[in-house]
Amino acid sequence: MAKPRIAIFDLACCEGCQLQIVNMEDELVQLLTLVNPVEWREAMSDQSSNYDIAIIEGSVTRSADEMRVRDIRIRAKYVIALGACAMQGGVNKLKNNFSLQEVKKEVYGYAADQAQFDTFRTKALAEVIKVDFEVPGCPIEASELAHVIKCLLTGRRPKLAEHPVCVECKMKGNCCRYEYDEVCLGPITRAGCDARCPSNGFWCFGCRGILPDANMDAAREAAALHGKSFAVLQSKLELFGSE
Amino acid sequence: MSKTVDIHVHHVTRVEGHGNIRVRATDGVIEKLEWQVPEAPRFFEAMVRGRKYEDIQTVVSRICGICSVTHSLAAIKAIENAMDIPISTQTDRLRILTHYGEQLESHILHVGYLVTPDLLGQKSVVPLVGSHPDVVNVVIDLHRLGNLMMEKLAGRKTHPVRLVPGGFAMLPTAHDLRQLKGELVAAVPKLEALAEVVANLAGGVPHFSRETEFVALVNAPTYPFYHGDVGTTDSDEIVSVLDFENVVNEYVVAHSTAKWSKWHRDSYMVGALARFNLNADYLAPLAKKTASALGLEQGCCNPYMNSVAQVVESVQVVERSIELIDEILTAGIEYQRPEAIIQAGCGAAAVEAPRGILFHRYEFDENGICVRANISIPTNQNHANIQKDFEEMVPQIIDQDQDHIRQQMEMLVRAYDPCISCSTHYLDVEFV
Ligand code: SF4
Ligand code: SF4
Ligand code: SF4
C-alpha cells in the first residue's frame, strides 16, 4: 500500500494536542517515514484535497466549522477525534452553561452583535459527523495517538482502556486525594494516562472523559463518605465536557 | 496594461491559530490591506464564571497549549493577589524555573520549526531533516529540554498539573533538579551552535523598520518574565499590573474576532523584542554576547528581529536556570503544602508569555467562586501593530511580484509568533 495520506485540522481549541505530536520529536521523524503528511497548517504550508486519515482537534462552535468538518468527512477515509475538545467538547462546553448572548456580551461588550462573533453551542465532533477513532485526554498522550495510527496502518482496531483512573492510581501507590479532603474524578474517568494528576499531587478532573458504564452511584457514595456533595462532583464533571 | 496585486492568504500556516491576510492593489495603489483574525472565539472570560478558584488555572491553561504554564501562572498569581495567599521563596524560585522551561520550549519551537524553514526557503521543517540534520538535531534537543523542565517541575509538558494557588501540588526532588542542571549545562554549546546557524541566516531577515511603542514587564535590575510592573519605550512611567486595563485599552474591529489594543500611539508591540528593548541592560553575560554576535541592538525597530531576540532569550533562560537551580539546592527543598484561606476579593497579575505580556484579572465571592474575569493576551496586543507594519511595508514592496509580497507578509506575521488560538485563531493571506 502507498503511504497513507494524513492531514491534521484544528477547530476551536488550544492546539495543545497538536503540540504533543510535535513533542514526539524523534518518534515523529520515524512516523513520518510511514505516512505522508499532506496538510498540517500549524507546521507546513501545503494544502491538500483528499486524505486517508484526517485527524481533527478542537470543538465545533460555529456554522463555518460545521461545514468544514462535513467537507473533511467526505474527503477522508478515517476520521480521528484528537483530544477532549473533539471527543467530548472539553473545556469549550463550559460555554453551554450560559446563553450565547450572555457570553458574547461578557467578552465583546457593546460589539457583541457583530457578524464575526458568530458562535453556537459547543458540539463534540461526533455530534456533527461520524468519528472512526478517538484519542482522549487534554492534552492527548502522544503514545496513544502513535498506537492508534500504527493500528490503522496494520489493519487492527485500536482499543481504549475500559477501567477507571483509580486502577492505575492504586498501582502507582499514590495516597488517595480523598484522604486530603479533595474531590477526585478518578473512580469514573477512563484510564490510560497512568493516573497522571493524582501521581503529581493533584486530583483527576476527568479530562479523558467519563467511562460509558461509570458507576455514578458509587462515585456519589464515595464523595458523600468524605463529606462532599454531589454538586461539588458535578461542578468538577462539567469542567471537561462530561455531564 | 494595469498590474493588479490580489492576495488572499486564508489561514496563514506555521503559526498557532488562524489569521488571514488580504491585499488588493491596482497599479501600485492599495485598495485593501487587512490583517484579519477569524479564529473561532472561545469566550474563556465567560466560561470561568461560576467556577471555584481552585479550578481556574486548570481551565484557563487550556486557552493556549503553547503558553499553558504562563496562563496557569498568571491565573494563580491573580488568585493569590485576590485572596492574599502568601507564597514562599521556594515556590517563587520553582515557578520561575518552570516558566523558563516554557520560554525555552516555545522559543525553540518557533525559531527552529516555524521560522527557519522560511530562511532556508522551505515550506516546513520536514525537508530540513534530510538537508540540515545537524540543525534539526540541535533544535530537537533544545526543544526537548524545555519540555523536560516543564515535565519534571509541573508534571506535564503541556498543561501543568502541579502549579496551584499557594505553591506546588508536588515538589521536584533534589535529584530531579541536579539532572536538569546537567542537561542545562550541556545545552549551552548547543545554543551557541544554534546562534551560529541563525547568525549565518540573519542576512535573510528582511530589512524593514518602523518606529513603534514597545511594552513589557520591567523589574530593574533583572530581565523579568515573571515579576515586575509594566514599562514602555514611549515614556518613563511604570504602570502597576493592577491597572493593566489602562495599558491595553482594548477595542473591537470588524474583521477580527480578537480584540485589538493601543496605548500611547495607534499600536504597540509586545514579545521578545519588546522585552529586549526595555531590559537588555540586565541580560546575563552569555545572552548579552549572543545579542551582539547576532547584531541585535537595543532600540531595534525591525519586527522580523523578534525571532532573533527569542534566540537571545533562550540563552538567557538557560543561563539563569542553571543559577536558579543552584540557589534552590543550596537552600534545600522543604516540603510545603499549598494552603489558601478562601475570601472575597479582586486581583490581577501579569506574566510574560513567550510571545509577550499577558494579563489576568479575577473577582471572587466569599465562597471562592469566580464572578468576573478579564484576560488580555499578548497576541491581541500585537494585532494593531501587525496592521500598522503592513501599512508601512506593503507600499514599499508593492511593485515586486505577488508571491514575494505574500511571503514577506506571512513572514512578518510569523515573526510576531502569534498564538491565535488564544486570541481565540488566524492566518489567511487573501489577495482580492
Ligand atoms: S483537548 Fe485540551 S490540549 Fe487538546 S486541544 Fe483541547 S484544550 Fe487543548
Ligand atoms: S486519588 Fe483519585 S484516582 Fe487515585 S485512588 Fe483516589 S479517587 Fe482514585
Ligand atoms: S488523571 Fe484525570 S485529569 Fe489527569 S490526565 Fe488522567 S484523566 Fe486527565
Residue B67: the pLDDT is: 92
Residue with cell 494552603: B339
**Alpha-carbon gap, residue A104 to A98, rounded angstroms:** 10
Residue B425: the pLDDT is: 28
**Alpha-carbon gap, residue A225 to B162, rounded angstroms:** 26
Q: Copy the grid coordinates of residue B11.
A: 489561514
Residue B420: the pLDDT is: 47
The ranges assigned to domains in chain B are: 44-423
**pLDDT at residue A131 is higher than 80:** yes
Q: Which of B59, B124, B259 sits opposite A94 (nearest CB)?
A: B59
Residue B30: the pLDDT is: 86
Cβ <8 Å between B126 and A37: yes
Q: Dihedrals φ, ψ of B49, to 5°? A: -65, 130
Residue B21: the pLDDT is: 87
Query: What interhelical angle do B174-201 and B285-293 show, nearest 10?
Result: 20
Answering whether pTM is above 0.90, one says yes
User: B305 to chain A, minimum CA–CA distance in Å?
Assistant: 21
Q: With a 6 A CB cut-off, is A85 part of the ligand 3 pocket?
A: no
Ordered per-residue pLDDT tens for chain B, 432 residues? 467 777 777 666 555 556 788 888 888 888 888 887 765 566 788 889 999 999 999 999 999 888 999 999 999 999 999 999 999 999 999 999 999 999 999 999 888 887 887 777 776 676 777 778 888 889 999 999 999 999 999 999 999 999 999 999 999 999 999 999 999 999 999 999 999 988 888 777 888 999 999 999 999 999 999 999 999 999 999 999 999 999 988 877 766 656 778 898 999 999 999 999 999 999 999 999 999 999 999 999 999 999 999 999 999 999 999 999 999 999 999 999 898 889 999 999 999 999 999 999 999 999 999 999 999 889 889 989 999 999 999 999 998 988 889 888 988 988 888 764 443 323 333 333
Q: Dihedrals φ, ψ of B239, to 5°? A: -100, 135
Taking every pair of Cα atoms in chain A, the longest distance, rounded to a whole number of angstroms, is 59
Q: How far is the CA of A213 from the centre of ligand 2 (A)?
A: 18
Residue B124: strand pairing partners: A44
Residue B153: strand pairing partners: none
Q: Nearest ligand, CA of residue B55?
A: 3
Domain range A5-153, CATH class: alpha beta
**Alpha-carbon gap, residue A175 to B196, rounded angstroms:** 49
Q: Copy the grid coordinates of residue A203.
A: 486530583
Helix (H, G, I), strand (E, B) or coil at B303: helix
Rama region for B306: left / alpha / beta (φ>0; ψ in -120 to 50; rest): alpha
Q: How far is the CA of B168 from the centre of ligand 2 (A)?
A: 19
Residue B156: the pLDDT is: 95
Cβ <8 Å between B421 and A13: yes
Cβ <8 Å between A45 and B147: no
Q: Which of B45, B161, B255 sits opposite A196 (nearest CB)?
A: B161
List the Cα angle B310/B313/B314 in 5-degree steps: 85
Cβ <8 Å between B46 and A98: yes
Q: Dihedrals φ, ψ of A139, to 5°? A: -85, 175
Residue B407: the pLDDT is: 85
Q: What is the pLDDT averaged over residues A33-38?
A: 79
Residue A103: the pLDDT is: 65
User: In this structure, are residues B161 and A196 in contact, taking their beta carbons and an 8 Å threshold?
Assistant: yes
Residue B42: the pLDDT is: 65
3-state secondary structure chain A: CCCCEEEEEECECCCHHHHHHHCCCHHHHHHCCCCEEEEECCCECCCCCCEEEEEEECEECCHHHHHHHHHHHHHEEEEEEEHHHHHCCHHHHHHHHCCHHHHHHHHHHHHCCCHHHCCCCCECHHHCCCCCEEECECCECHHHHHHHHHHHHCCCCCCCCCCEHHHHHHHCCCCCHHHHCCCCCCCCEECCCCCCCHHHCCCCCCCCCECCCCCHHHHHHHHHHCCCCHHHHHHHHHCCCCC
Residue with cell 458574547: A104
Task: Nearest chain B residue to A180 by CA: give it.
Answer: B337
Residue B430: strand pairing partners: B7, B22
Q: Nearest ligand, CA of residue A173?
A: 2
Residue B25: the pLDDT is: 86
Q: With a 6 A CB cut-off, is A196 part of the ligand 3 pocket?
A: yes
Residue B422: the pLDDT is: 40
User: A13 to chain B, minimum CA–CA distance in Å?
Assistant: 7
Q: How many CB atoms lie within 10 A of CB B46?
A: 22
Cβ <8 Å between A65 and B40: yes
Helix (H, G, I), strand (E, B) or coil at B311: helix
Cβ <8 Å between B43 and A202: no
Residue B36: the pLDDT is: 78
Q: Nearest ligand, CA of residue A194?
A: 3
**pLDDT at residue A81 is higher than 90:** yes
3-state secondary structure A121-170: CCECHHHCCCCCEEECECCECHHHHHHHHHHHHCCCCCCCCCCEHHHHHH
Q: Which of B13, B38, B169 sits opposite A201 (nearest CB)?
A: B169
Q: How far is the CA of A13 from the centre of ligand 1 (A)?
A: 6
Residue A78: the pLDDT is: 93
DSSP state of B111: I
Q: How far is the CA of A198 from the centre of ligand 3 (A)?
A: 8
Task: Tell me the per-residue pLDDT of B247-293, one tens digit each, with 9 for 90 and over.
Answer: 988 877 766 656 778 898 999 999 999 999 999 999 999 999 999 99
User: In this structure, are residues A39 and A51 in contact, taking their beta carbons and an 8 Å threshold?
Assistant: yes
User: In this structure, are residues B305 and B298 in contact, taking their beta carbons and an 8 Å threshold?
Assistant: no
Task: Tell me the per-residue pLDDT of A144-168, one tens digit each, with 9 for 90 and over.
Answer: 998 898 898 888 888 899 999 999 9
The ranges assigned to domains in chain A are: 5-153, 165-241
**Alpha-carbon gap, residue B168 to B153, rounded angstroms:** 9
Q: How many CB atoms lie within 10 A of CB A54?
A: 23
User: In this structure, are residues B429 and B12 in contact, taking their beta carbons and an 8 Å threshold?
Assistant: yes
Q: What is the mean pLDDT of chain A?
A: 85
Residue A37: the pLDDT is: 78
Task: Nearest chain B residue to A108 by CA: give it.
Answer: B252
CATH number for region B44-423: 1.10.645.10
Q: Which of A16, A116, A117 sits opposite B158 (nearest CB)?
A: A16
List the Cα angle B369/B425/A49 in 5-degree steps: 135
| A chain contacts of residue B18, beta-carbon cutoff 8 Å | 41
User: A234 to chain B, minimum CA–CA distance in Å?
Assistant: 11
Residue B15: the pLDDT is: 53
